[in-house]
Amino acid sequence: PQPTLVPFLAAGFNFASGKRVREVPYDAHSLFLFDGEETSLAVRAWTHGYDFYHPDRDVVSHLYIPNKSPLRPVFWTEDWASRSRIQFWTMLRVNYLLGLHGLLDYWVNASLLDLRDARKYGLGTRRRA
């Protein structure tokens, strides 16, 4: 059996060489991002020339616990009023870094975005997104 080449990356089941981690690190300026984190990392890694594979069989599982459970602390349970604003601007940042600003967020002046380390956390040049 061989692993299967796939188009998506799973953050909870993601193994890579140290080289990939150095070339395509998690974005330290993308705070409180949940929906979009895996997509951002996958697109960036893909454009840097990395492929993704899944094993030919299930080897781990993930227990999803309801949001209100004390067994599942999540960042959106505390101070979400201020954190949601940060997450909104984080999503705008990610869209910009992925080249989607003009398509999705054209109504926001790009000069208002946090673009620190944009080259480090932006798209690669080996493949087109």
Q: Is 80 helix (H, G, I), strand (E, B) or coil?
A: helix
Task: Fill in the DSSP letter of residue 111.
Answer: G
* Residue ranges in the chain whose pLDDT is less than 50: none
Q: Look at the chain and count its residues.
A: 129
Integer-rounded Cα Rg, in Å, for the chain is 17
Predicted pLDDT of residue 85? 93
pTM: 0.86
Cα separation, 32 vs 16, in Å, equals 23
- pLDDT per residue as tens digits for the range 33-49: 888 899 999 999 999 99
Site of tokens 């974005």? 27
Residue pair 40/94 in contact (Cβ under 8 Å)? The answer is yes
Site of tokens 């080897």? 59
- Which runs of consecutive H residues, i.e. helices, occur in 8-79? 18-23, 37-47
Cα separation, 36 vs 38, in Å, equals 6
Which residues, listed in sequence order, are joined to residue 52 by a DSSP beta bridge? Answer: 6
Question: Strand ranges (DSSP E) for the chain?
Answer: 4-6, 52-54
**For all residues of the chain together, what is the average pLDDT?**
90
Question: Strand ranges (DSSP E) for 13-68?
Answer: 52-54
Predicted pLDDT of residue 31? 92
